[in-house]
């Protein structure tokens, strides 16, 4: 395998990460916080190594990228960025261990939102801003990967979302990625600015507004306060954040089509329809439960249900209340919606709505075959027939997803976590949600976990974020065989 294109891409992205590190460095320097030196040094080391990698691979160029190279590049990029992004956490005033720093950085870049940091209100602004920036960068990276890379790799049925009227050969992956990133990047930045302004007008400070806007649109969930969004206790802020999380959970490519004049592309998309319908139904059921069984005022019940349900189903992880105390009916609701996620091509996580749609279409077709053995029935998605290749990809994804979830939960249980904590922590890691249930619920952090459990969860975050097969394929003999 020619590693030069891979080194070129990884080096370029590391250099970009180094430049982003300068932002919290400037903020800390302006406010007189000594951590600016940590960010400056980390940026220098990251920039040096990134540029060195890129220059070393210059002779190889990046004109072509095979499928094998794309698999390796995707995983290696996420791991390398996480390692270097952990430096500021390790050498800041909190002096985190490498395990804790890697966990925090992985949670940020994968937009998971799980944290080992406590007493956020006393942290310097540079570290708080760095956490938000990591999730913001991870969000745009995930969108580009889902639109330009995963369809080429045919991971879990993502080949359904190949770009129309474009060359689908692997050699064209990088030019397509650059074109898509430039357009969607502008939309992504614009939405972030809009939500920052909305948060500020609703009463947040300028710093909080910017930090929360980045983690809201990225559906990341990192906050600048220990009480998350509950710190503000403001209905307008809750509903603004809820709208932002929904916006981040919809396919960004449809925003591009909307700007191109296809105004009905978004509301007519079946994935969007299923997602919004599911969110509405679960919010209504949960709100009624809080009203009737928890004696909440109807307005408060609707507000709590809307924000927290949207936060978990999109994998954002914000919280305004400890929903693990909402009663026995609420617990399974939050546990199962962790798996759903949002739409393909968004910043969200989880299994994704379109896979449930394909599974439903395949099951419906199978039932018809049972009733009419000699009939010919074809499953459809978005008015297009679903090929056997896509169905097999999706079914394989479901099997491997739940297999990894089971192994991860058993591993956490082996390390001493109780049943609820182990299963919900495994779910929140592989679904990139953030808060779990039990001892790692929305009112607590993951700081007390065994280091082994933190590494297991970090691996789960990477697997879930990169759609499982992208990572697993690297550990097969066939991948490395010429």
pTM: 0.92
Task: Give me the pLDDT at residue 64, please.
Answer: 64
pLDDT reported for residue 60 = 52
Q: Where are the domains of the chain?
A: 355-480
Say what the pLDDT of residue 411 is: 95
DSSP letter assigned to residue 131: H
Residues 421, 415 contacting (CB under 8 angstroms): no
282: three-class secondary structure by DSSP: helix
What is the average pLDDT across 378-383? Answer: 88
Encoded tokens for 263: 């105004």
Q: How far is CA 53 from CA 7, 39, 145, in A?
A: 6, 21, 22
8 Å CB contact between 431 and 409: no
The torsion region of residue 382 among left (phi > 0), alpha (psi -120 to 50) and beta comes to: left
Instruction: Quote the pLDDT of residue 165.
Output: 40
Place of tokens 């009663």: 327
Structure tokens belonging to residue 53 = 């990698």
Indicate whether 20 pLDDT > 80: yes
Q: For residue 167, what pLDDT is reported?
A: 46
Under DSSP, the state recorded for 381 is E
Structure tokens at 216: 């809201």
Question: What does the pLDDT look like over 132-148, one tens digit per residue?
Answer: 999 999 999 888 888 77
DSSP 180-206: HHHHHHHHHHHHHHHHHHHHHHTT--H
Binned at pLDDT 50, 70 and 90, residue 108 comes out as very high
Q: Dig out the tokens for 270 from the structure.
A: 């079946």
> Helices 451-465 and 419-430: crossing angle, nearest 10°?
40
Joined tokens for residue 120:
């956020």
Side-chain half-sphere exposure of 225, counting CA atoms within 13 A: 16
Using CB atoms within 10 A of its CB, is residue 122 exposed (0-12), middle (13-18) or buried (19+)? exposed
Residue 170 has a pLDDT of: 47
């Amino acid at each position: 395998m020619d590693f030069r294109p891979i080194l070129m891409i990884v080096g370029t992205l590391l250099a970009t990460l180094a430049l982003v590190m300068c932002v919290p460095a400037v903020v800390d320097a302006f406010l007189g916080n000594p951590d600016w030196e940590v960010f400056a040094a980390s940026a220098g080391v990251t920039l040096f190594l990134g540029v060195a990698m890129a220059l070393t691979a210059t002779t190889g160029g990046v004109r072509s990228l095979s499928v094998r190279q794309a698999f390796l590049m995707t995983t290696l990029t996420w791991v390398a960025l996480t390692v270097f992004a952990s430096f500021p956490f390790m050498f800041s005033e909190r002096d985190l261990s490498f395990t804790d720093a890697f966990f925090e950085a992985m949670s940020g870049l994968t937009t998971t939102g799980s944290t080992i940091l406590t007493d956020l209100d006393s942290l310097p602004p540079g570290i708080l801003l760095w956490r938000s920036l990591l999730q913001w960068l991870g969000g745009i990276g995930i969108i580009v990967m889902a639109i330009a890379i995963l369809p080429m790799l045919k991971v879990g049925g993502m080949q359904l979302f190949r770009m129309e009227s474009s060359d689908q050969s692997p050699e064209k992956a990088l030019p397509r990625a650059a074109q898509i990133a430039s357009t969607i990047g502008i939309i992504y930045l614009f939405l972030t600015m809009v939500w920052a302004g909305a948060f500020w007008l609703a009463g947040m400070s300028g710093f909080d507004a910017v930090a929360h806007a980045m983690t809201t649109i990225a559906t990341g969930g990192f906050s600048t306060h220990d009480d998350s969004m509950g710190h503000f206790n403001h209905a307008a802020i809750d509903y603004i954040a809820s709208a932002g999380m929904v916006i981040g959970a919809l396919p960004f490519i449809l925003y591009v089509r909307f700007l191109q004049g296809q105004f009905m592309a978004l509301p007519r998309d079946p994935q969007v329809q299923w997602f919004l319908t599911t969110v509405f139904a679960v919010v209504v059921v949960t709100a009624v439960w809080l009203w009737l069984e928890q004696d909440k005022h109807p307005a408060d019940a609707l507000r709590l249900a809307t924000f927290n349900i949207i936060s978990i189903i999109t994998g954002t992880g914000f919280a305004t209340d400890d929903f693990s105390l909402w009663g026995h009916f609420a617990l399974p609701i939050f546990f199962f919606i962790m798996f759903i996620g949002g739409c393909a091509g968004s910043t969200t996580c989880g299994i994704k709505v379109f896979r449930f749609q394909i599974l439903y279409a395949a099951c419906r077709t199978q039932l018809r075959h049972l009733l009419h053995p000699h009939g010919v029935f074809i499953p459809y998605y978005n008015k297009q027939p679903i090929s056997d290749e896509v169905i097999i990809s999706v079914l394989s994804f479901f099997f491997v997803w739940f297999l990894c979830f089971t192994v991860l939960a058993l591993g956490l249980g082996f390390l001493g976590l109780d049943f609820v904590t182990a299963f919900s922590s495994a779910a929140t890691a592989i679904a990139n949600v953030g808060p779990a249930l039990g001892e790692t619920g929305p009112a607590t952090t993951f700081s007390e976990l065994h280091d082994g459990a933190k590494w297991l969860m970090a691996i789960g975050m990477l697997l879930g974020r990169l759609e499982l097969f992208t990572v697993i394929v690297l550990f097969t003999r066939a991948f490395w065989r010429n």
